[in-house]
Amino acid sequence: MGIDPNYRQNRQVVGEHEGHKIYGPVDEPKVLGIHGTIVGVDFDVCIADGSCITACPVNVFRWFDTPGNPVSEKKADPFNEQACIFCMACVNVCPVAAIDVKPP
């Protein structure tokens, strides 16, 4: 079960982090929602494999600590989603399909 590709329509914006939107629900530390609009990362699916961080040629991602989260205690945060060049490398390498990329 990966990220909902329609989360932008199906979920409410519940906050902002590092300049990107957070789509709920959020109930920290167990439920963290989806971070990002152009590059969305489902923090509830992300297992902190790091392949997206390595694959991204324009440094869209960086680690964000999520202590107490049952899936992983860090996540690949799309803090620089505006730099995305839509190469889809992150989507293609994510082992749990936690990432969705759509142009604005």
- Binding residues for [4Fe-4S] cluster, as ranges, are 56, 84, 87, 90
For residue 93, give the H/E element and its range: helix 89-93
Find, among 38, 56, 35, the residue nearest to 98 by Cα. 35
- Binding residues, as ranges, are 17, 20, 35, 46, 52, 56, 77, 84, 87, 90, 94
- Binding residues for Zn(2+), as ranges, are 17, 20, 35, 77
- Binding residues for [3Fe-4S] cluster, as ranges, are 46, 52, 94
From CA 104, how far away is CA 20, in angstroms rounded? 13
